[in-house]
Amino acid sequence: MIQRAAPAYIRKLFGSSSPHLQVECRYYTAQVATSLRPSVYSDDEECPVVDWDKLGFGFMPTDYMYITKSCDVAGNFEQGQLNRYVNIQLSPSAGVLNYGQGLFEGTKAYRQDNGGLSLFRPRENAIRMQIGAERMCMPYPSTDQFVDAVKQTALANKRWIPPSGKGSLYIRPLLFGSGSILGLAPAPEYTFLVYACPVGNYFKEGTAPLNLYVDEDFHRASRGGAGGVKSITNYAPVLRAIRNARERGFSDVLYLDSVNKRYIEEVSSCNIFLVKGRVISTPIACGTILEGVTRKSIMDIAIDLGYQVEERLIEADELISADEVFCTGTAVGVAPVGSITYKGQRIEYKIKSELVCKKLYSTLVGIQKGHIEDKRDWIVDIE
Exposed / middle / buried, residue 345 (Cβ in 10 Å: 0-12, 13-18, 19+): exposed
**Residue 308, strand partner residues:** 279
Cα–Cα distance, 329 to 332 (Å, whole number): 5
Residues forming the active site: 230
Nearest to 179 by CA among 27, 67, 69, 26: 69
